[in-house]
Chains A and B, each alone.
Chain A
Amino acid sequence: MEAVIKAINVRKYFPLSVGIFSAKKYVRAIDNVDLELYSGEVLALVGESGSGKSTLGRVIVGLQKPDAGEVLYRGHNIYKLNNSLAKLIRHKIQAVFQNPDSSLNPRMQIFDILSEALLTKNPELSKAELLDGVVRLLRTVGLSDDHVFKYPHELSGGERQRIAIARALSVEPEVLIADEIVSALDVSVRAQVMNVLMDIIDKYRLSVIFITHDMGLVWSISDRVAVMYLGRIVEIGPTEEIFKSPLHPYTKMLLVSSPTASSTMAFKDLRFKARGEPPSPIDPPKGCKFVTRCPLADERCNVIDPQLNGVSENHKVACIKVNS
């Protein structure tokens, strides 16, 4: 399969301001992560808060330059582009975030918000063409024409999120990073926005990184799942395999802890009941990062830092208990 996005050995540490005489400390948000996004797939990125999943999303979309490693879009390093190529590729990778209120300008009408985006793609558009484009975008995300001249505050949370999706679509992207886009919405509205997302993925043949903490949504939308813990990917594989026979103890813990009304997510091995909280990403454990909470850990786990290893062609896990 062809990879649209390739993140190679990406690292992002955030420096902490501490006393001038003490050693400099870092929050290790992403710690040497490799990730490939294949053309046309939906890859879910899951993990607790602080696992680095949002930072990884921001690095891939080009908003957060990594300290080390590279992010390739079809072979081009997105942080080392000349100007003409940069604009082109920036259009190809778009993002939608959790809170539309902080990404939509409250003083702009929907028409202005969307036409501004359309103009970056094609500055020659006439007013009539713009209106036409805006209406088309609105229809794509299931909104009617009468939203064109409204302001964001006149819309509901779900509608605002659809505007954010429409804006991302306006530049005809190939890759969409969706970071917790329905987490702030009520159940009934959440379903509407998820369905719009599924529609546009089909229609525009998008490759998507879907960042969430909701395992139910992961089950319904994704082709593959990558599980992150303290800045590392600890397991990655096809969604059905991950849900039916998870390998990493942390993946098991996430699945056991997720309340769900679905019988499809049947993994309930109570040995993996949640316990403890993630250690600080400033000073993570030396060996396996999950050792402090793992029900299977032994002395070796304190020492050995497990690497991602393939158990099958496309299922990889970082746990010495599985690999050995």
Chain B
Amino acid sequence: MEKILEVIDLRVYYDLPQGSVKAIDGVDLDVVKGEILGIAGESGSGKSTLALTVSGLLRPPAKVVSGKVLFNGVDILKLKNDELRSIRGSKIGMIFQDPNTYLNPIYTVGFQVGEVFEAHRGGSLRKYLDEVVKLFKAVKIADPERRVNAYPHQMSGGMKQRVLISMAIAGEPELIVADEPTSALDVTVQAEIVELLNEIRDRMNTSVIFITHDLALLLEISNRVAIMYAGKLVEVGKSSEMLKDPLHPYTKALLSSLRYERKKKLASIKGSIPSLINPPSGCRFHMRCPYALPKCSQVEPKLVDVNGRKVACFLVGDGYGGSDKSH
């Protein structure tokens, strides 16, 4: 299968006065053409930093310490700003959580979507009006001819998110990065937005990176899921397999906290996410892991293949978490 995006040994740190926050600390990940890859993690796991890096939107104090992000073979971390701009918005589209932050309240939504065409193809805005109407139809905004003249405050949250999606697909991108695109929406609206993203993927064969803290949603909609914890990937695999048989203790714990039973307590994970300024040694989950071995606090498990899945845990597979020569 054709890889459209390859993330290789990526490390992104935020340099703060208190120390450097290791938001992404050695992540390897591929995205295949036409797939929806889900990335799940709690707040502070580094998933949004990953989205920003892949979209070429990192700003100081964030800095890339090492690694590559190959988009169709080109390392986007090495591109100059104008080269990056020609990819971002046309080859890579982005959708974020809060549409209000990304829409300008004093311009009509039609104008703002038209700007995307203007930026990438030049010419005057006016000639793109028909295309904006077409896009609004594609994202199922009712009454598109009228809606292009609406201001953001005249639209509901779900509608605004559709406007953002129409912007993201305006350049017929090969990759859409969606960071918590439905987290601020009601479940019913969420279901519709997810369906829309699915349709776009089918129609344009676009790959989608879908980032959310909602693992239940992710397992339902994505082909593959990557679980992040404290700046690292702990498990990557097919959604259907992971739902049936999670391997990493963190994935297991997350899934069991989602299995609701009548009038029974929820399975909880003790403790909370560690500081990323001084991350724990060894496996970053060892302090909260019910199965931790003595070596888990000393040696860091690598992400290795286990029956077509990738897992970083000493308890899984051959029991050594990959090449563990230091022990």
What residues make up the interface of A, taking CB atoms closer than 8 Å to B?
Answer: 48-49, 156, 158, 186-192, 194-195, 198, 213, 215-217, 219-221, 239-240, 253-254, 256-262, 264-265, 273-275, 277
Which residue from A48, A188, A239, A259 sits with its C-beta under 8 Å from B216? A259
Bound-complex Cα distance A254 to B260 (A): 17
In angstroms, Cα B78 to Cα A266, docked, is 49
**Interface secondary structure of A, over-half rule:** helix
Q: Is B269 touching A191 in the complex (CB atoms < 8 A)? A: yes
Nearest-neighbour CB distance to chain B for A170, whole angstroms, equals 24
Query: Is B257 close to A, CB under 8 A?
Result: yes
Number of A-B pairs whose CB atoms are under 8 Å? 106
How far, in angstroms, from A194 to B268 measured CA to CA in the complex?
9
Question: Contacts A261-B219, A274-B189, A277-B156; is A188 near B260 (CB within 8 Å)?
Answer: no
Tell me which residues across on chain A come within 8 A of B262, comparing CB atoms.
219-220, 239-240, 264
CB distance from A290 to the nearest CB of B (A): 11
Question: Hey, which chain B residues are within 8 Å of A216, CB to CB?
Answer: 216, 258, 260
How many residues on chain B are close to A (CB under 8 Å)? Answer: 41
Contacts of B264 in A (CB 8 A): 220
On whether the beta carbons of B186 and A213 are closer than 8 Å, the reply is yes
| Distance in angstroms between the alpha carbons of A262 and B258 in the assembled complex | 7
Q: Are B257 and A259 in contact (CB under 8 A)?
A: no
Contact B268 A192 (CB under 8 A): yes
14 further A-B contacts with Cβ under 8 Å, apart from A216-B260, A220-B266, are A188-B42, A188-B257, A188-B268, A189-B42, A220-B260, A220-B264, A259-B187, A261-B215, A261-B255, A262-B261, A273-B191, A274-B187, A274-B188, A274-B191
Report 9 cross-chain contacts, Cβ distance below 8 Å, ordered by A residue: A187-B42, A195-B268, A220-B261, A254-B187, A257-B188, A259-B219, A264-B261, A274-B189, A277-B156
Q: Answer whether A186 and B216 are a contact pair too, CB < 8 Å, given A49-B186, A220-B264, A277-B156.
A: no
| In the bound complex, CA of A239 to CA of B263 (Å) | 11
Whose C-beta in chain B lies nearest to the C-beta of A263? B259
CB of A260 within 8 A of CB of B216, answer yes
Q: Which residue of A lies closest to B266 (CB)?
A: A191
The reply to whether the CB of B213 lies closer than 8 angstroms to some CB of chain A is yes
Most A C-beta atoms less than 10 A away, residue of B159, B220, B265, B273: B265
How long is the Cα–Cα vector from A194 to B254 in the complex, in angstroms?
15
A261 touches B243 (CB 8 A): yes
Q: Is the CB of A187 within 8 A of B188?
A: no
Does B214 interact with chain A (Cβ within 8 Å)? yes
The residue of chain A having its C-beta at the shortest distance from the C-beta of B44 within the complex is A186
Q: Does B192 contact A (CB under 8 A)?
A: yes
Check A254–B216 contact: CB distance below 8 A. Answer: no
Report the bound CA distance from A196 to B77 in whole Å.
46
Closest 7 CB pairs of A and B: A191-B268, A274-B188, A188-B269, A191-B266, A257-B191, A186-B42, A259-B217
Nearest residue in B to A273 (C-beta to C-beta)? B191
**CB pair B260 A262 closer than 8 Å:** yes
In the complex, B110 has a CB within 8 A of chain A? no
Structural contact, B266 and A195, CB atoms closer than 8 A: yes
Name B259's closest neighbour in chain A (CB-CB): A262
Q: Which residue of B lies closest to A260 (CB)?
A: B216
CA distance A191 to B213 in the complex (A): 14
Question: Contacts of A186 on B, CB cut-off 8 Å?
Answer: 42-43, 213, 273
Question: Which listed residue, A48, A189, A217, A239, touches B188 by the CB 8 Å rule?
Answer: A48
Task: Report which residue of B217, B243, B259 has the largest number of chain A beta carbons within 10 angstroms of its beta carbon.
Answer: B259
Q: Could you say which residues of chain A place their CB within 8 Å of the CB of B272?
A: 156, 158, 188-189
The residue of chain B having its C-beta at the shortest distance from the C-beta of A188 within the complex is B269
Interface centre among A49, A187, A195, A198 (most CB of B within 10 A): A187
Q: What residues of chain B lie closer than 8 Å to A195, measured between beta carbons?
A: 265-266, 268
State in angstroms the CA–CA spacing of A190 and B254 once bound together: 11
Residues of A within 8 A of B259 (CB): 261-262
How far apart sit A260 and B272, CA to CA, in the bound complex (Å)?
A: 23
